[in-house]
Structure 1
Amino acid sequence: MKPEKLESILDTARKMFARYGLRKTSLDEVARMARVAKATIYNYFGSKDKVYLEVLHREMDEVVQKISSSVGQEALPEDKMIAFVKAKFR
């Protein structure tokens, strides 16, 4: 699958999961909004749960990267803790 198509599917799914939740989000609608065939999503991911897990993994990776970047810039433990809290609540 082309990277652009994968990103389109996951971006669309992320928005729909955030708005409607796991249960009310349908892969039919994700496919329509991402302009791909539903079969393409199933061929790549296998199930709606696996799409959801990939979205969650990507979101967690972003959070960890943001926090790590903020904390890594500080030298003192106290400053690291403050940076962690600030990054967590952005």
Structure 2
Amino acid sequence: MNPEKREQVIEIARQLFLTYGAQRTCMDEVCKLAHVSKKTLYSAFRSKEDLFNAVYIHEVDSYMSRLDPARVSGDSSLQKLEQMIRLAIECSSSAAFFVTMAKRDFAYPPPLLQTSYADSIEPKVTGFISQVLEQGMASGEIRPVPVTTAAYMIYRLVQGFTVGKGLSVQGTAEEIAFLIDFIRAALAAQSTAAEGSIRKTL
């Protein structure tokens, strides 16, 4: 199976898993929609579980490529953190696969699903956040905080704000602004917080 056809099969399988769940998805239907024979499909994916794992890995890679720290810029650490939060919310649609599978296919736990979405993505995302926090603390922009705990809390806030609200809900502009202001206020050094309050009153 060539790479282009493999990508097509993975996308078709992804849609079927989301629509019907892993248990009810049939390999025959994948063959039909992808216009491939069973022999071709099983030569690339030994089983439905193997295909599910391929979709899972593809989703993780897709999410992490979009949530690339290189896409985050800003003059200050708090600005970088804000951009990272907005980017995470923008990318949250990719998380629909993980959340849907975890909820509807609890009785179908392939090894990769058992490791969970959190085990695959959480350390990388909190790592990005930790770097920004450490830079901000070093510059005096962010008050001293337990970096690992703070990064985890920010990650969970954003996660709850996106997939926790519903798979297709990403929040209004006002809600996103409130979330960012809430996090900034919790992290900002006193002088930075005071400057922000002054700007708002002017």
Q: CA offset at residue 20 of structure 1?
A: 1.4
SS in 2 for 1:36: coil
Gaps of 5+ in 1: none
> Shift of the alpha carbon at 1:74?
3.8
Letter paired with 1:11: E
Aligned runs of 1:9-28 on 2, under 5 Å?
Answer: 9-28=9-28
Tell me which structure has the larger Cα radius of gyration.
Answer: 2
Q: Distance in 2 between matches of 1:74 and 1:50?
A: 41
Checking the alignment, whether the CA contact within 8 Å between 1:13 and 1:55 is kept in structure 2 is yes
Contact preservation (8 Å) 1:63, 1:88: no
Deviation per residue, 1:23-58 (Å, 9 max, x gap):
111111011000001221211111111111111111
Aligned to 1:65: 65
Identity, in percent, stands at 30
1:45 equivalenced with 2:54 (yes/no)? no
- C-alpha deviation, 1:75, in angstroms: 5.2
Q: TM-score, normalised by structure 1?
A: 0.84
Letter in 1 for 2:45: F
8 Å Cα contact 1:28-1:38 kept in structure 2: yes
- Give, in whole Å, the separation in 2 of the partners of 1:75 and 1:67: 19
Letter matched to residue 86 of structure 2: K
1:34 aligned to 2:9?
A: no
Shift of 1:2: 1.6
Q: 1:3, CA displacement in angstroms?
A: 2.0
TM-score (norm: length of structure 2): 0.41
For residue 21 of structure 1, what is the amino acid of its counterpart?
Answer: G
Structure 2: segments with no counterpart, 5+ residues: 91-202
Residue matched to 1:81: 81
Note the C-alpha offset of 1:81: 2.1
1:10 maps to amino acid = I
